[in-house]
C-alpha cells in the first residue's frame, strides 16, 4: 500500500478541520486568521449574496465575544451580522469582511507620520466608545486592527474583552502590548490606554519627541500616570497635529521655537522675504 504524501495529508487535515456549515446560509472559502479564541474564515453568505468573515469559536459559549461586539455599534468596530451554533456545538458569528490589511502591514513607506497619527486617532475614538459602553478590549495590538482600503480602521478580536464592572479578568493578551496590571489578571480600560501607547510607538521608526512622550505617558507603569481616557490620549495627538504643545511633554524654549517655526513655515517665509526685500532696497540706496 502506498503511503499518502505530506501534501495530501495536510489537505485532508485542513478539510477535516473546516467547520460544518452545510445546510446553513454560509459556505466557507478559506481561513484568513487564527487566534487563541477561534478561527476566522472568509465565507459566502448565500442569502444576502455577499462575502463575510465568519469566526468559529473554540467554545460553545456565545455570550461573550459576539454579544460584546453586537453591543458596540461604531464605525471603528467591525459590525456583527449573525451568530449561531455549529452541529459540533461550537459557536460562530458572521461579521463584515474587511478588505484591507492589519495595522502593522498597512503603511507604505511613503505614508506620512501625520496620516498614521490620524488613523491612530480613529482607533482611539473606537476604544473610547467601547469604554463609554463599559467594555475594555484588553488585547489591543496592531494585528488586531484592520485598515480598510479607504483608510478606515476597525478594531477586531474582542475575544478577551470584558465588561468594566468585572474587575478580575483572565490573564490574556500579547506581552509587548499588555499593561502590568493585566499580567495579574486585573485588566481594565486603562490597560487599553497602555496598549494604545504601545501601538503608537510602533507607528514609525522615527517618532517625534512629543509623540514619544505621549506614548510614554500612555504606557506608564502606574495607572494614575496614564491618560485617564482614550479621548484624552487622542486629544493630545490632535494637539501635536495642530502644532500645539502636548500635555505629555514639557518643551524647552528651543523646542517651542522649532515647533512654532515648522508649523508656521509659510508665514515665516513671507516675513523673511519682506525683510530681505527691505534690507536689499536699503542696501541699494546707500550704494
For the purposes of burial, counting CB atoms within 10 Å of the CB of 188, is it exposed (0-12), middle (13-18) or buried (19 or more)?
buried
Scanning residues 222 to 281, which ones bind other proteins (CB under 8 A)? 266-267, 270-271, 273-274, 277-278, 281
Specify whether 139 is catalytic: yes
Q: CB of 270: closest distance to other proteins in angstroms?
A: 4
Q: CB of 265: closest distance to other proteins in angstroms?
A: 11
Strands 38-45 and 80-85: unpaired
Q: CB of 263: closest distance to other proteins in angstroms?
A: 11
30 with 56: CB under 8 angstroms? Answer: no
Would you give the DSSP letter of residue 92? Answer: E
For other proteins, which is the closer residue by CB, 70 or 244?
244
Choose among 104, 108, 116: nearest CA to 211. Answer: 116
For other proteins, which is the closer residue by CB, 184 or 267?
267
Q: CB of 224: closest distance to other proteins in angstroms?
A: 38
Q: CB of 241: closest distance to other proteins in angstroms?
A: 16
For other proteins, which is the closer residue by CB, 101 or 275?
275
Q: Among all chains, which residue has been given the C-alpha cell 486592527?
A: 145
Binding of other proteins at residue 108 (CB under 8 A)? no
Q: Determine the Cα–Cα distance for residues 182 and 179; give it in Å rounded to an integer.
A: 5
Q: Among all chains, which residue has been given the C-alpha cell 458596540?
A: 72
For other proteins, which is the closer residue by CB, 47 or 280?
280
- Active-site position among 45, 139, 157, 192: 139
Provide long-range contacts, Cβ within 8 A and 24+ apart, for 246-250: 246/210, 246/211, 246/213, 246/214, 248/210, 248/213, 248/214, 248/216, 248/217, 249/209, 249/210, 249/213, 249/214
For other proteins, which is the closer residue by CB, 18 or 114?
114
Which three cell numbers, joined as nine digits, stand for 130? 467601547
Q: Determine the Cα–Cα distance for residues 54 and 27; give it in Å rounded to an integer.
A: 10
Chain residues that interact with other proteins, rule: CB under 8 A: 266-267, 270-271, 273-274, 277-278, 281-282, 285
Q: Any idea which residues carry the catalytic annotation? A: 139
Amino acid at each position: 500500500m502506498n503511503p499518502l504524501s505530506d501534501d495530501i495529508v495536510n489537505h485532508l487535515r485542513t478539510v477535516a478541520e473546516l467547520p460544518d456549515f452545510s445546510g446553513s446560509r454560509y459556505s466557507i472559502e478559506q481561513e484568513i486568521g487564527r487566534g487563541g479564541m477561534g478561527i476566522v474564515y472568509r465565507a459566502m453568505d448565500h442569502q444576502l449574496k455577499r462575502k463575510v468573515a465568519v469566526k468559529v469559536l473554540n467554545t460553545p459559549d456565545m455570550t461573550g465575544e459576539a454579544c460584546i461586539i453586537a453591543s458596540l455599534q461604531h464605525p471603528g468596530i467591525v459590525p456583527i451580522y449573525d451568530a449561531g451554533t455549529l452541529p459540533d456545538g461550537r459557536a460562530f458569528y458572521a461579521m463584515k469582511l474587511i478588505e484591507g490589511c492589519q495595522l502593522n502591514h498597512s503603511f507604505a513607506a511613503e505614508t506620512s507620520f501625520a496620516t498614521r497619527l490620524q488613523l491612530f486617532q480613529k482607533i482611539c475614538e473606537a476604544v473610547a466608545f467601547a469604554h463609554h459602553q463599559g467594555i475594555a478590549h484588553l488585547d489591543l495590538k496592531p494585528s488586531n486592527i484592520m485598515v480598510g482600503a479607504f483608510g478606515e480602521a476597525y478594531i477586531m478580536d474582542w475575544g478577551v474583552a470584558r465588561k468594566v464592572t468585572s474587575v478580575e479578568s483572565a490573564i490574556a493578551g500579547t506581552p509587548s502590548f499588555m499593561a502590568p496590571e493585566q499580567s495579574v489578571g486585573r485588566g481594565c480600560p486603562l490597560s487599553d490606554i497602555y496598549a494604545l501607547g504601545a501601538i503608537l510607538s510602533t507607528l514609525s521608526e522615527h517618532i517625534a519627541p512629543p509623540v514619544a512622550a505621549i506614548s510614554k505617558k500612555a504606557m506608564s507603569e502606574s495607572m494614575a500616570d496614564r491618560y485617564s481616557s482614550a479621548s484624552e490620549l487622542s486629544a493630545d495627538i490632535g494637539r501635536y497635529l495642530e502644532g500645539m504643545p502636548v500635555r505629555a511633554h514639557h518643551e524647552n524654549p528651543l523646542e517651542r521655537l522649532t515647533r512654532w517655526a515648522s508649523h508656521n513655515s509659510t508665514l515665516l517665509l513671507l516675513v523673511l522675504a519682506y525683510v530681505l526685500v527691505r534690507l536689499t532696497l536699503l542696501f541699494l540706496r546707500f550704494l
